[in-house]
């Protein structure tokens, strides 16, 4: 019973960390790419999507980042890619 409570707490902490990393990464990406600001919730979503994109792309080209700062940098790179793609789609 206690193991389930600990596991539930770990999942909650992981979700909170994803939100924080996503928010920071989304904010960084929207700061770097002009006109990419999406507000707090948009930046969090952008950062999480960016983390997913970077999770596929960076290892494919041989780049591996570790730790919390590595996660933020990777998510920001992915979010920048997402913002650039959105910008290209909006222009078309």
Helix-helix angle 67-91:2-32, to 10 degrees: 50
- The tokens describing 12, both together, are 């909650």
In this prediction the pTM is: 0.79
Q: E strands along 1-92, which residues?
A: none
Alpha helices (H) in 33-66, listed in sequence order: 39-60
User: Per-residue pLDDT for the chain (92 aa), expressed as one digit of tens each?
Assistant: 566 666 667 888 888 888 888 888 988 898 888 766 677 888 888 888 988 888 888 888 988 888 888 888 888 999 999 988 888 888 87
């Amino acid at each position: 019973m206690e193991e389930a409570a600990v596991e539930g707490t770990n999942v909650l902490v992981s979700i909170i960390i994803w939100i924080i990393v996503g928010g920071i990464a989304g904010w960084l990406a929207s700061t770097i790419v002009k006109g990419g600001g999406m507000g707090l919730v948009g930046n969090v979503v952008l950062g999480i999507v960016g983390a997913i994109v970077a999770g596929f792309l960076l290892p494919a080209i041989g780049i591996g980042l570790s730790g919390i700062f590595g996660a933020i940098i990777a998510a920001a790179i992915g979010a920048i890619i997402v913002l650039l793609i959105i910008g290209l789609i909006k222009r078309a």
